Amino acid sequence: MIPELGHFALILALLVSLAVGVLTLLGAHQNRGPWIALARPGAQAMAFLVTIAYLCLTQAFVANDFSVIYVAQHSNSLLPLQYRIAGVWGGHEGSLLLWMLMLTWWALLVSGFSRNLPAPMLARVLGTLCLVAFGFLLFILLTSNPFERVLPGVAEGRDLNPMLQDPGLVIHPPLLYMGYVGFSVAYAFAIAALLSGQLDAAWARWSRPWTLAAWVLLTLGIAMGSWWAYYELGWGGWWFWDPVENASLMPWLVGTALLHSLAVTEKRGSFKNWTVLLAISAFSLSLLGTFLVRSGVLTSVHAFATDPTRGIFILAFLVTVIGLSLALFVWRAPKVGLGGRFGLFSRESLLLTNNVLLVVAAGTVLLGTLYPLLIDALALGKISVGPPYFNAVFVPIMAPLVFLMGIGPFARWKHASLPEIARLLKWALGVAGVVAVTLPFMYGSWTPLVGLGLLLATWVALTVAINFVQRVQATRGSDSFLSAALRQPRHFWGMHLAHLGVAVFVVGITMVGGYQEEKDVKMAPGDTVTVSGNTFRFLGVKQVEGPNYTAWQGQVELLRDGRLDKRLHPEKRHYRSSMMPMTEAAIDAGLLRDVYVALGEPIDRDKPEAEWAVRVYYKPFVDWIWAGCGIMALGGLVAMLDRRYRTRRRRRNPANRPAGEAP
């Protein structure tokens, strides 16, 4: 009964989204007040219905209703409750429903935080979101219905993929989807601006906090996924250039470009067309990512689905969305003005360079991801494009970008002076150079890549500090430095935090790339192994029972100066229902290094209490990778809370509220 209720709610949501989408857009076009006024309640109704459907599916998981095919495929009565709740998005149908849920919640948020938006604008934004939602609801109902039943139900479910039975799964996909789907709001604002012809600084200001919010969540989602892969897959890597990872990286790169471009559009009224194009691209890439992951065209660790009808539907949807958006763009863009003047070397031109590099980087990832599919489709053979390729082409694009990041904040709008900046920053560059040349020797050998990484990281950190101090000093008057620093606008804090996050991130990837060490050893009880000064003693394994698995748990001691420092318990699990073995690494995390132990296999399968193959890693600064992402996201959050996004309501008093807006 309850799954049918969910199914029904989904059908109603489909009808509501179509009706509201069409009526509000038409209403805004013909300036019909009542139709425009539908936008807010319409979006709310859609969010309500999809939430009901989502809760119904969750209930089916919690209650172990194995007559629902999707539940039977992705759950099991032995599965702990938290994974039954998270299992809702453990497969194709449910993750689409989660996608949908996020989309409608974004629409709900827009309808709630848009009191200062003119009513026709809001109608266009929400109308666009409703139409996107319609497309996805149609997709779910036609090809990926999670509520389908098999009667009579099966006795036991097939279980959730053990790889996904981890706290990481509880957080990673919702965060990632929140970010992914969040770009739909930036997209909807761009479409609304094109439809209305009001492509101005006000539009950029409305759109900016939403874009920041999506970017923050996407950053956290990607970092979370990377961290999850690091500790769960047992390979000790943090990024594999898997197509599914690339699918989330591309919107992130374009989204980052969009943030910077929006800054110019808001402050200087320039690059409007370009900003709109980026907003369209960011969301299109999110859709493309969904297509790649969900259509099964890829073979990767994340691809659960292989059904061509789904692929064709999303492809058609993708082509429709991108095609219509670009057509609209081509129609409207020529009427948009150029904005203010600026010199060839200025804050504007540097931000435009940032945009070009980010878009080239995204294009490169896209090329590398799609190329094997293309070659395969053209019957030119099968190739693999993996980490060696991406590392080779990505670093040369990102290195100049990170370098320019140090200069950008010093450049003035309109016209900047290169000699002035050079004079100011030559010491920073010198210090960064010295660090890059000397520091690696403390860790052993010097390699060009480590030198470059440390150069860039130091450079960014120093320029951030100089810029920050300089500005605080210039505005401080007779106040203390601290109070003057705290008085700086939040967008200024946000920018520097985010840039500092990049520096921290670069330190992490550089040090891990340059100095990580791993050893594959045979260990009998009592044996020790040492990597980079960290000694492990293996005491043997013992059998432990989990809720739905049995495991060999390694008893490993981490020694410091010959004395016990920490006990580590890597596991080799065997899940009962799927019989899949899973490696659970044990990690001792630290500020300057992680050490990481993973159990391989017993050397002699009949004698698991004897020798084991054990893999140990030493990972210097690896946590800086995720800490850097966290700081970037924090920067985005701080910038999002900037005063000027909040005081709009007070400044725009009701007297000059645009006509037609509901009171």
Partner 1 sequence: MSARLYFSRFLAALGLALACQLGLAEEARPLSDDPVTEQRLQAISAELRCLVCQNETIASSNADLAKDLRREIRGMIQAGQSDQQIIDFMVARYGDFVLYRPPFKATTLLLWGGPLIFLVLGIGALQFYLRRRNRVLQAARPLSGEEARRADALLTEPDPADSPLQGPFQGKDLQP
Q: Choose, by CB under 8 A, the member of 29, 32, 158, 205 that binds partner 1.
A: 205
Residues in 566-605 that interact with partner 1 by CB under 8 A: 581, 583, 600-601
Contact between 359 and partner 1 per CB under 8 A: yes
Q: Choose, by CB under 8 A, the member of 520, 533, 560, 564 that binds partner 1.
A: 520
What is the β-pairing status of strands 534-545 and 549-560? Answer: antiparallel
The residue among 78 and 375 lying less far from partner 1, judged by its C-beta, is: 375
The residue among 152 and 396 lying less far from partner 1, judged by its C-beta, is: 396
Contact between 623 and partner 1 per CB under 8 A: no
The residue among 43 and 262 lying less far from partner 1, judged by its C-beta, is: 262
The residue among 349 and 578 lying less far from partner 1, judged by its C-beta, is: 349
Residue 152: which region, alpha, beta or left (left: phi > 0; alpha: psi -120 to 50)? beta
Q: Choose, by CB under 8 A, the member of 69, 171, 237, 446 that binds partner 1.
A: 237
248 vs 106: CA distance, rounded Å: 19
Q: Could you tell me the smallest distance in angstroms from the CB atom of residue 626 to partner 1?
A: 20
Residues in 538-557 that interact with partner 1 by CB under 8 A: 538
3-class DSSP string for 193-235: HHHHCCCCHHHHHHHHHHHHHHHHHHHHHHHHHHHHHHHHCCC
Residues 6 or more apart in contact with residue 218 via CB below 8 angstroms: 176, 178, 179, 180, 182, 183, 248, 251, 252, 255
Alpha helices, DSSP H, located in 31-77:
33-36, 39-62, 69-74
Q: Could you tell me the smallest distance in angstroms from the CB atom of residue 347 to partner 1?
A: 8
**Tokens coding 242:** 């898997």
The residue among 266 and 623 lying less far from partner 1, judged by its C-beta, is: 266
Contact between 277 and partner 1 per CB under 8 A: no
The residue among 112 and 386 lying less far from partner 1, judged by its C-beta, is: 386
Residues in 300-339 that interact with partner 1 by CB under 8 A: 300-301, 303, 338
**Tokens coding 661:** 């807006």
Residues in 119-178 that interact with partner 1 by CB under 8 A: none
Q: Which of 614, 620, 604, 653 is nearest to 508 (CA)?
A: 620
Contact between 243 and partner 1 per CB under 8 A: yes
The residue among 32 and 471 lying less far from partner 1, judged by its C-beta, is: 471
Residues in 470-509 that interact with partner 1 by CB under 8 A: 471, 474-475, 487, 489, 491
Q: Do 541 and 555 touch, CB atoms closer than 8 A?
A: yes
Q: Which stretch binds partner 1 (CB under 8 A): 39-47, 106-114, 231-239, 623-631?
A: 231-239
608 vs 337: CA distance, rounded Å: 73
410 vs 408: CA distance, rounded Å: 5
Q: Which of 415, 413, 456 is nearest to 433 (CA)?
A: 456
Contact between 375 and partner 1 per CB under 8 A: yes
Q: Which stretch binds partner 1 (CB under 8 A): 75-83, 117-125, 153-161, 359-367?
A: 359-367
Contact between 420 and partner 1 per CB under 8 A: no
DSSP string covering 318-377: HHHHHHHHHHHHHHHGGGS---S---SSSHHHHHHHHHHHHHHHHHHHHHHHHHHHHHHH
Q: Choose, by CB under 8 A, the member of 5, 22, 322, 521 that binds partner 1.
A: 521
The residue among 181 and 485 lying less far from partner 1, judged by its C-beta, is: 485
**Tokens coding 650:** 């007070």
Token pair 């920067």 is at which residue?
635
Q: Which stretch binds partner 1 (CB under 8 A): 37-45, 134-142, 524-532, 632-640?
A: 524-532
